[in-house]
Amino acid sequence: MKKNNKIRLGFASHIAVLFLLPAAPATAADGIAPAADDETLIYVIRPKRFTGGAVGFWIAVNDQTVARVKHKKHAVVRAKAGRISLNLAIQGSPVATIAVDDRPGETVYLKYRLGDENIVEVDEEAAHKLMRKSKLMDPIGEALPNNEEIRALLNLSRFGFELMRPASSRLEPDSEAAVITLFRRNEVPKLEFGIWGEDGFVATLKANEGVDLRVPAGDHFFLAGQTGTTVMKASVEAGKRYYAWLDVGKMILRVRLTPVARDQANDLDAWLTDVEWVELNPEAMTTRINEREGLVVGFVQSVVEKANQGAADFTVLAADHSQ
């Protein structure tokens, strides 16, 4: 896997926080001017839920934090139409994400409650029903940096993108390349986790899914993240297969890429029994996905550089892990 020069991060975000009117019962427009032809107007609604009522979420669009929403309230964001990555964050960690790409002149209604799997878009009628039971949040004033943007983008599929498909066949090593097989066991089944190489996105894995990656002999780095990041250095030989599993903690969702040693062969057979094999779908890698990928690659390469300098921890997959 040849290391590219760092990609310059040049996808500027043109986001403006809507100056909201005082809270009032929701009407058809909630007292808010409709979206202009080059804008997308986004309502984020937090309906009543018994748990998590004291927790407030920051709302971020692309690289800016633009609003805040609390329990039984809703907020409104006016954004320039185009690539819109929206994430909700709490205590410096993204909790839910959604893409609202290329919706010029539209009003979009989103619903999220703490504990939901992700943000859900609802229709206008359902949204107005929910907003009649909530109040409009005051604006936060000046937008703040979105420090969670890259961490959210590490898990691209959670924005609503279907990037993988069933594998047409298993890959095999040959005289010029090794195969690294990455897989997940049955931990945290509802969440998908992205895996990255130095050059870009390589896979998303759900629980009990696996992917084969064919790579030339030599050194390669892989990264995944949720609460923090995990880095694995793979030093591989052509003609051999290697296994590593993406271990996901059940409480704080800390992830770790863990190489499987030869003496774990019996365990490996059991772990792979229920695994479904997937592969990246090239047709799913649209321009908007590629833009997001470019933002993350620069971060991945900076982490790899730190690993090479001994300034970042990493696991090692090497000769004693070939199967």
The CATH number for 106's domain is 2.60.40.1120
Q: Does 160 lie in the same domain as 124? A: no
Is residue 102 in a domain?
yes
Predicted pLDDT at 249: 79
- Give the sign of the dihedral formed by CA 228, CA 209, CA 293, CA 219: positive
Q: Is the distance from CB of 111 to CB of 45 less than 8 angstroms?
A: yes
Of 95, 125, 148, which one is at a domain's C-terminal end?
A: 148
Question: Does residue 2 lie within any of the structural domains?
Answer: no
Structural domain total, the chain = 2
Long-range contacts of 82-86 (CB under 8 A, 24+ apart): 83/11, 83/288, 83/291, 83/292, 84/40, 84/42, 85/61, 85/149, 85/152, 85/153, 85/159, 85/292, 86/42, 86/44, 86/59, 86/60, 86/61, 86/110, 86/119
- Structural domain that includes position 173: 156-321
Same domain, 135 and 169: no
Q: Which of 89, 122, 148 is the last residue of a domain?
A: 148
Would 6 be classed as within a structural domain?
A: no
pLDDT tens track for 189-219: 778 999 999 999 999 999 999 999 999 999 9
251 and 277 assigned to the same domain: yes
105: three-class secondary structure by DSSP? coil
- The confidence band for 251, taking pLDDT boundaries of 50, 70 and 90, is low
pLDDT given for residue 256 in this prediction: 92
Residue 87 inside a domain? The answer is yes
Element holding 247 (H helix, E strand): strand 241-248
pTM of the model: 0.86
Q: Say if residue 265 is in the same domain as residue 218.
A: yes
State whether 193 and 116 are in the same domain: no
Read off the pLDDT of residues 83-117 as tens digits, 9 standing for 90 and up: 999 999 988 889 999 999 999 999 999 999 988 88
Q: What percent of the chain has pLDDT over 90?
A: 76
Query: Which has more pLDDT, 12 or 39?
Result: 39
Q: Residue 5 domain-assigned?
A: no
Distance CA 35, CA 76 (A): 11
The CA distance from 121 to 61, in Å, is: 16
Segment 254-262 shows an average pLDDT of 92
Pairing state of beta strands 218-226 and 120-122?
Answer: unpaired
